[in-house]
Amino acid sequence: MNPSMNTGFSGFVPFGDSYLVSGTDGVGTKLKLAFDLNKHDTVGIDLVAMSVNDVVTSGAQPMFFLDYFATGKLDVDQAEQVVKGIIEGCNQSGCALLGGETAEMPGFYQNGEYDLAGFAVGSVKKEKLIDGKSIKAGDVVLAFKSSGVHSNGFSLVRKVLEVSGTSLHAPCPWNASSTIGQVLLQPTTIYVKKVVELHEKVGLKGVVHITGGGMTENIPRVIPNGLGVKVDATSYQVPELFQWLMSAGNVPLDDMRRTFNMGVGMIMVVDPENVAAAQALVPELWVLGEVVEGEGVTYV
């Protein structure tokens, strides 16, 4: 049997001249908001995003996805909405929805509630694997913005809503055309196609999916020992959603940074000489910081 290995976000096994790369995840307590709002057409995108965004950190193109949908009693209309989102997520990431499992477990879930899980498998040529080992001090950290909270930190989000007495149906203070619930349900951005293109045309030394734990805890999963990242906190504006959560819940900044993506959904480490080429290819990228001697993540 081939030995298995893992990078910071996915596991992989050798397969001929390539590696097969896999990742698995769910949507977590974000589902509670979908239940409360009776809106189920976006959580499927979240489900796919959480796995394919992990898989692509190794440079792999996701090939296929499978889902697991479990509920007490199947509501066909509800399930169709969920699957619609899963199909959309697969389209956005360029992978096939190979199949799935629908389980009915009476008495196990509250009426109208369900749980979701899924996994993706991708492949990358061995010589193109991104494992972070070539990262060195002086390398540049580029960032993609997030679309919102994505799919991590919703237990804290729900606590903020509770302590502040804010309804999901309340108008959004910074976006009059939306409610708080609509903004919070915004689906996770899928970065696969752009990351694959960047790696193919520019070359990436490390890729970090900013999930639970924020930049503070996710960046060290990819950066070699003895190195850290200095984040320029003035390089971008923290989205108003996170500013509101911090204020409404009286959440300390350090806790915010250790829980949420704070507006940064994916980061890439590149050689300084490749920064211009990367930004020419994907103009929305910005320089978030740099790799330095030391440990962990510091914000300046």
Q: Does residue 134 sit within a domain?
A: no
Q: Is residue 4 scored above 80 in pLDDT?
A: no
Dist CA 122 CA 52 (whole Å): 8
Q: Is residue 2 scored above 60 in pLDDT?
A: no
Q: Does residue 275 sit within a domain?
A: yes
Q: List, for residues 13-33, the tens digit of each pLDDT value.
A: 999 999 999 999 999 999 999
The mean pLDDT value for 172-197 works out to 94
Q: CATH no. for residue 265?
A: 3.90.650.10
Q: Does residue 259 sit within a domain?
A: yes
For 48, the enclosing helix (H) or strand (E) is: helix 43-55
Q: Same domain for 277 and 151?
A: yes
Q: Same domain for 123 and 144?
A: no
Query: Hunting for tokens 């697969």 — which residue is that?
Result: 90
Q: Same domain for 104 and 178?
A: no
Would the pTM count as exceeding 0.85? Answer: yes
Pull the structure tokens for residue 27.
């949507």
Q: What percent of the chain has pLDDT over 90?
A: 94
Position 58, amino acid:
S
Q: What percent of the chain has pLDDT over 70?
A: 98
Q: Same domain for 288 and 152?
A: yes
Q: Same domain for 152 and 290?
A: yes
Closest CA to 256 of 145, 159, 144: 159
Q: Does residue 290 sit within a domain?
A: yes
Q: Same domain for 230 and 96?
A: no
Query: Hunting for tokens 């910081």 — which residue is that?
Result: 289
Dist CA 169 CA 185 (whole Å): 12
Q: CATH no. for residue 18?
A: 3.30.1330.10
Phi, psi of 146 (to 5 degrees): -90, 170
Q: Same domain for 73 and 196?
A: no
Dist CA 25 CA 20 (whole Å): 17
Q: Is residue 273 scored above 60 in pLDDT?
A: yes
Which of the listed residues 69, 96, 128 is the one where a domain comes to its end?
128
Q: Does residue 213 sit within a domain?
A: yes
Q: Same domain for 119 and 155?
A: no
Quick check: helix, strand or coil at residue 150? coil
Dist CA 11 CA 191 (whole Å): 19
The mean pLDDT value for 91-112 works out to 94
Q: Is residue 51 scored above 70 in pLDDT?
A: yes
Summary mean pLDDT of the chain: 94
Q: Same domain for 69 and 158?
A: no
Q: List, for residues 207-252, the tens digit of each pLDDT value.
A: 999 999 999 999 999 999 999 999 999 999 999 999 999 999 999 9
Which of the listed residues 80, 107, 128 is the one where a domain comes to its end?
128
Q: Same domain for 50 and 81?
A: yes
Q: Does residue 193 sit within a domain?
A: yes
Please tell me the total count of domains within the chain: 2
Q: Same domain for 121 and 150?
A: no
The mean pLDDT value for 85-106 works out to 96
Pull the structure tokens for residue 287.
């320089």
Closest CA to 114 of 176, 30, 181: 30
Work out the angle at residue 151's Cα, subtended by the Cα atoms of residues 119 and 230, and round it to the nearest 5 degrees: 105
Q: Does residue 280 sit within a domain?
A: yes
Dist CA 140 CA 142 (whole Å): 6
Q: What is the pLDDT of residue 5?
A: 60
Dist CA 65 CA 100 (whole Å): 8
Query: Hunting for tokens 């960047």 — which residue is that?
Result: 198
91 class by beta-carbon count within 10 Å (0-12 exposed, 13-18 middle, 19+ buried)? middle
Q: Are 82 and 45 in contact (CB under 8 A)?
A: no
Cα 298 to chain centroid, rounded: 21
Q: Same domain for 289 and 149?
A: yes
Q: What is the pLDDT of residue 175?
A: 87
169 class by beta-carbon count within 10 Å (0-12 exposed, 13-18 middle, 19+ buried)? exposed
Provide the domain limits for residue 62. 5-128
Which of the listed residues 101, 128, 155 is the one where a domain comes to its end?
128
- Angle subtended by helix axes 240-248 and 154-164, to nearest 10: 60
Q: What is the pLDDT of residue 6?
A: 62
Q: Does residue 185 sit within a domain?
A: yes
- pLDDT band with cut points at 50, 70 and 90 for residue 134: very high
Q: What is the pLDDT of residue 41?
A: 95
37 class by beta-carbon count within 10 Å (0-12 exposed, 13-18 middle, 19+ buried)? middle
